[in-house]
């Protein structure tokens, strides 16, 4: 059984956006040499998350951000009296920072329209990180 | 350490519904021969997801679908101008396609009222798949 | 490759609250002897969940509960005619019971402000459990 660990580093340009990190993750699976197994991705930062989402229409990312902003609006939380980003924390918690994706034939076993997105809910940030842990044969 | 991989295949009958796949997953755990470890389940398809949910009252699945439809309604998203299923994508992304369930004594270590459900948000579909990756001893 | 399994046991004092279990999880990682790998946590109970959330401001937990109660209110679900806790089940399903956290240098690789919280959505309960499955070297 092989164990491979690494970190994806990215910067984010906007306050709130979904950033596609599929290519970086696929590259690490290739480098790990694992053909069959799993790739556990984990976003650091309590105002960030990971989401598997449609990859073809870039509007989807904006739809997701709009949707979350409508459901969980800014400025109405207890935490906003301290730090002003209560909505970002709640959204990050509900979407969640961890996704575990199967590896088959040496690649992430995503379906045709699934990609992996880093969710920035409190940017822009110069440096965001995703821990990558790969296990398999 | 054992590694076992397989795929659960199912068809869905309705546009939107939760489909219980616990039995199929338990069967694969048994076939894997793993007694202690973890079972990572992953739903393919950017309009599908997995949810651990109450197993006794079949109304719960309808409640979940109604709730998501109320929060994330159909027809109001940028993506709807392209493909008409924006709400299905957003719901799938928030619920998420991956669940990692412990294995103990050769079985999925679910609690009494927890089952594993495939969430169909854009059906019916003739063929949906869930990747199964089991690791353990 | 090491495999370590155990259970975190807790009681909950309130009907609805987030309970920090990071210390207990860190202790198990230390006891496992794993330096690099992953820690899969899984909350038992169909009215409970796990959430990675901000750890510094205790208001955040109350904000999360308030937010979920606003979005998914009590008393309006089919299941409420049977058991009265439909909202708890739906909230637990959407937040989800499983989080897979990387292990680096013998510790959970959380970022500075991330802790692990057990979400009680139908308490108080004398005994709640989280299955811990650790894999790595």
Predicted ipTM? 0.97
Question: Are the beta carbons of C114 and A71 separated by less than 8 Å?
Answer: no
Helices (H) and strands (E) in chain B, counts: 3, 8
Q: What are the 10-residue block averages of pLDDT along chain C, 137 residues in total?
A: 98 98 98 98 98 94 98 96 94 98 98 98 98 98
Place of tokens 């197993």: B55
| Torsion sign over Cα A118, A123, A127, A128 | negative
Separation in Å, CA of C114 to nearest CA in chain A: 5
> The tokens of B23 are what?
């039995």
- Among chain C, residues having any CB pair with chain A shorter than 8 Å are 1, 36-38, 51-55, 57, 59-60, 62-64, 66-67, 71, 94-96, 99-104, 109-111, 113-114, 135-137
Of the candidates A42, A46, A72, the beta carbon closest to that of C53 is on A46
- List of chain B residues with pLDDT < 70: none
Question: Please, which chains are in contact with A (at least 3 CB pairs closer than 8 A)?
Answer: B, C
B17-20 and B114-120 beta bridge pairing: antiparallel
Of C44, C47, C48, the C-alpha closest to C129 is C44
Chain C residue numbers touching B38 (CB-CB < 8 A): 40, 133, 135
- Using an 8 Å Cβ cutoff, are A1 and A135 in contact? yes
CB A54, CB B79: distance < 8 Å: yes
Task: Give alpha helix (H) positions in chain B.
Answer: 22-32, 59-71, 86-95
Task: Tell me the C-alpha distance between B31 and A122, whole Å.
Answer: 45
> How high is the pLDDT of residue A67?
98
Distance (Å) from the alpha carbon of C21 to chain A's nearest alpha carbon: 15
Taking 70 as the pLDDT cut, the residues of chain A under it are none
The interaxial angle of helices B59-71 and B86-95, nearest 10 deg, is: 120
Task: Tell me which of A49, A50, A54 to substitute to probe the interface with B (most B C-beta atoms closer than 10 Å).
Answer: A54
Asked whether the beta carbons of C32 and C4 are under 8 A apart, the reply is yes
The pTM for the full model equals 0.98
């Amino acid at each position: 059984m092989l164990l491979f660990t690494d970190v994806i580093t990215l910067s984010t340009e906007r306050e709130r956006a979904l950033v596609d990190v599929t290519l970086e993750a696929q590259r690490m699976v290739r480098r790990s040499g694992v053909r069959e197994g799993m790739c556990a991705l984990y976003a650091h930062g309590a105002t960030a998350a990971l989401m598997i989402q449609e990859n073809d229409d870039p509007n989807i990312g904006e739809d997701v951000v709009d949707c979350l902003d409508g459901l969980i609006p800014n400025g109405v939380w207890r935490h906003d009296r301290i730090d002003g980003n209560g909505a970002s924390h709640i959204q990050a918690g509900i979407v969640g920072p961890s996704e575990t994706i199967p590896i088959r034939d040496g690649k992430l076993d995503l379906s045709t329209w699934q990609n992996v997105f880093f969710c920035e809910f409190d940017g822009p940030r110069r440096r965001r990180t995703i821990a990558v842990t790969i296990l398999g044969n």
